[in-house]
Chain A
Amino acid sequence: MKNLDVDLHHRLGKMTLEAKFACETGGITAIFGRSGAGKTSLVNMLAGLLKPDRGRISLGGETLFDSAAGIDVPIERRRLGYVFQEGRLFPHLSVRNNLTYGLKRVPKGERRIELEQVVALLDIESLLERRPQALSGGEKQRVALGRALLANPKLLLMDEPLAALDQPRKDEILPFIEQLRDEMALPIIYVSHSMQEIVRLADTLVLMSSGRVEAVGSVEDLTSRLDLRPLTGRYEAGAVLATAIAGQDKAFGLTELRFAGGRLKVPHLNLPLGQGLRVRIRARDVSIALTPPRDTSILNMIECEVKAISEERSPQVDLQLDAGGAAIWARITARSCQALGLRPGLKVFALIKSVAIDRQSLGRRDQAARFLSEDE
C-alpha cells in the first residue's frame, strides 16, 4: 500500500487538466474516462514524461514533483514501470534482452522480481530468443509487461495496454494481469475506457472527465452512484455486486451466487464454494415486475425497493434499485415506468436473465466479504 497524492494543473491546448486526488494504491487503481479526458496525460505526468505547469505529486511519502519547491525527479529515477498501449519493445534486442533491459539497471540488493519468476508468470519461455518483430500482438504486450515488471518498479502504470488488441488477445492477457495483481502485490494504475476491464481488474476507481478528476472511490460505490452516471456511460450503465459462490446445480450447469440482496443463478462457474466474486449486471439486462411473475423463464427475481429514477427526457429511464443494501440498475422504457406507476420507495421485483451474466461480467474474486458478513 502506497499513498498517492496528486494535485496538478496543466494546460493541454484548449483543455486544462486539473487533477487533485489522493488514494491508497493497493491492488489496481483504474483511471476511467472517455478518450480525450486526459487519462494518458495524467499518467505521463506521474511517470515524468510530461511536465505539469504546476502542482505536486508524491508517492508513499516521496515527492516526485513539486513546482513550488523546484523538485522534478527525472524519469529514470522515479522507478515507475510503464506499460504502453503499443508495447514499445526495442526492435534491435531479443526478447530476453528486452526483458532484462530494466533489470540490469536495478542494484542487486533491490531486486525483488527476477527473470525466471516473470518468465513463468507470463508464460514466455519459448519466446526468449526471438526478436520482437516475430511476436504476435498479444505476445508483444506480455513481453512489454514483463519488461516493466523486471525494472522492479514501486508502482506499475498501464496505459490502455489492451486497447490495441482484439478480443481474443485481450482474453489472453487479462488473466496475466489478474495474476500479477494477486501474486506480485505490486500496486498498479490502470488506464482504461472499458468498464468491462475495470470491473474485472480494479479495486479503486478514479473517474476523469474533460481534464478533471470527478470522483475517487471503490468500483462498487462509484458505479452505483446516480450523479456519476453520465460519466460511467449510458451504454455501459450497470451495477457491480460483490457475491460469493453459494451452490452448484450440476444437472442444469448452473451456479448459485449469494449477495446482500438474495441469490443469483448464473451459467456454471468452476469455482469452490464460498469463493468471492464480483459480478456486473448491466442495466439493460434487468426488467421490472410489481409482483413475482409465474410461468416465466427468468430464474433471478430479486426483491428490491426503487431508490431513484433518472430524469432524462428520452424513451428510456434508468432506475436505481436497492436490494438489501446492494445497488442494482434497471433500464426500462419511460412508457413502462409510467404504466407501472414506479416511484421511489416502491417495492418491486428485478428480473435478471441468467444468460445475460456472462464471463465478461465476472470480476475480481475477493473483496466480496463485507457484503456477505452482513448477510449472515
Chain B
Amino acid sequence: MFELTALESEAIRLSLRVAFWSVTASLPFGLAAAWLLQRYDFYGKTLLNGIIHLPLVLPPVVVGYLLLILLGRRGPLGSWLYETFGISLPFTWEGAALAAAVMAFPLMVRAIRLSIETIDQNLETAARTLGASRLSVFLTITLPLIAPGILAGCVLAFARSLGEFGATITFVSNIPGETRTLPLALYSLIQTPDGETGALRLAVLSVILSLAALGASEIIERRLRARLID
C-alpha cells in the first residue's frame, strides 16, 4: 500500500547516512567543547562560545556560503585538503554531513554542557581519593553520569541534521543520489509540475522518520535513567 519509489528510498537512505555521520563525527568535538566551556575558564572563552552558537542565529544560507568559501577547491582550507589528501567536500554527501554537523553542533554542545553542569563534582574527587586517575575518573564516573545528556544531544543533532536544508543546498547543491536528502528532494518535487502527491508522500515519510528517532531515544534514555535511579 505504501511502496517506496526509487527516488524516495534513495532520499531516505541518503538522509539517514548524512545524519548518522554528522552526529558520529561531531560527537567527540561536541563533548570536548562542552567540557571546555563548562569546566574551564580561559582567555577567549566568550568568543569560542559565540562561534559555536553562531549557526543557531545565522541564516543557514550564510553558513553554507561560508563553508563554500572556506572549503571550496580554491578556499584556504579546501585547497589544502585537496592537495594534501585529495579530499574535496563541496558537492559530495560528506560535505552534506559536514554542513549538517555545523548546523547541529550548538544543539549538541548545549545539551551535553547542561548535563556536565548537573554532575556533583564531589563524586569525582571522591573517586580520586579511591585511587583513580583523572582519566579513569572521567571514564568511570563522569561519562556514565552524563550519558543521558550525551544521548539527548545526539538525538537533537540527528533530528536537526535530517532537516538541514539551507546550508546543505548552498554548500553541496542538490545532486540526485549524492546530496539530495529528504528535504531537498521535497523541495525539488514542489518545484516540478504534478509533484504535489510525491511531495506529500515525502512529507509523511519525514514525520514518520522523526517520530521513530524520538521514540528510539526515549527508550534508550529510559534505560539509562533506570540504571541511574533504579
Contacts and interface: CB of A to CB of B under 8 A. Distances in A.
A343 interface: no
The prevalent SS among residues of B at the interface is helix
B145 interface: yes
A94 B129 CA distance: 19
Contacts of B230: 130-131, 133-134
B122 A76 contact: no
Nearest to B229: A133
B141 A90 contact: yes
Given A49-B125, A75-B125, A90-B141, A147 B228 contact: no
Contacts of B140: 101
A55 to B, nearest CB: 20
B130 interface: yes
Among B129, B132, B145, residue most surrounded by chain A Cβ atoms (within 10 Å): B129
B145 A82 contact: no
A84 B141 CA distance: 17
Contacts of A88: 120, 122-123, 126
B39 interface: no
B129 A81 contact: yes
Interface in B96-130: 120, 122-123, 125-130
Given A76-B131, A105-B132, A84 B145 contact: no
A346 B95 CA distance: 98
Interface in A79-93: 79-82, 84, 86, 88, 90-92
A148 interface: yes
A64 to B, nearest CB: 13
A114 B120 CA distance: 29
Given A88-B123, A90-B123, A91-B145, A148 B228 contact: no
Contact of A147 (B128, B130, B136): B130
B123 to A, nearest CB: 6
Residue among A75, A77, A102, A134 facing the most chain B CB atoms (10 A cut-off): A75
A248 B23 CA distance: 78
Given A86-B122, A91-B228, A92-B227, A76 B132 contact: yes
Nearest to A49: B125
Contacts of A151: 129-131
B121 to A, nearest CB: 10
Nearest to A79: B131
A82 B144 contact: no
Interface in B164-181: none
Contact of A82 (B120, B129, B133): B129
Nearest to B125: A49
Contacts of A133: 229-230
A6 interface: no
Nearest to B143: A92
Nearest to A75: B128
A106 interface: yes
A288 to B, nearest CB: 50
B145 A92 contact: yes
Max chain B CB contacts within 10 Å: which of A81, A92, A106?
Answer: A92
A101 B130 contact: yes
Nearest to A150: B130
Interface of A: 47, 49, 74-77, 79-82, 84, 86, 88, 90-92, 101-102, 105-106, 130-131, 133-134, 147-148, 151
Interface of B: 120, 122-123, 125-133, 136, 140-141, 144-145, 227-230
Given A101-B130, A148-B129, 4 more contacts: A76-B131, A76-B133, A92-B144, A92-B228
29 contacts: A47-B129, A75-B128, A75-B129, A76-B128, A76-B130, A76-B131, A76-B133, A80-B129, A81-B129, A82-B129, A86-B122, A88-B123, A88-B126, A90-B123, A90-B126, A90-B127, A91-B123, A91-B228, A91-B229, A101-B127, A101-B132, A101-B140, A102-B130, A102-B131, A105-B132, A105-B136, A130-B230, A133-B229, A148-B129
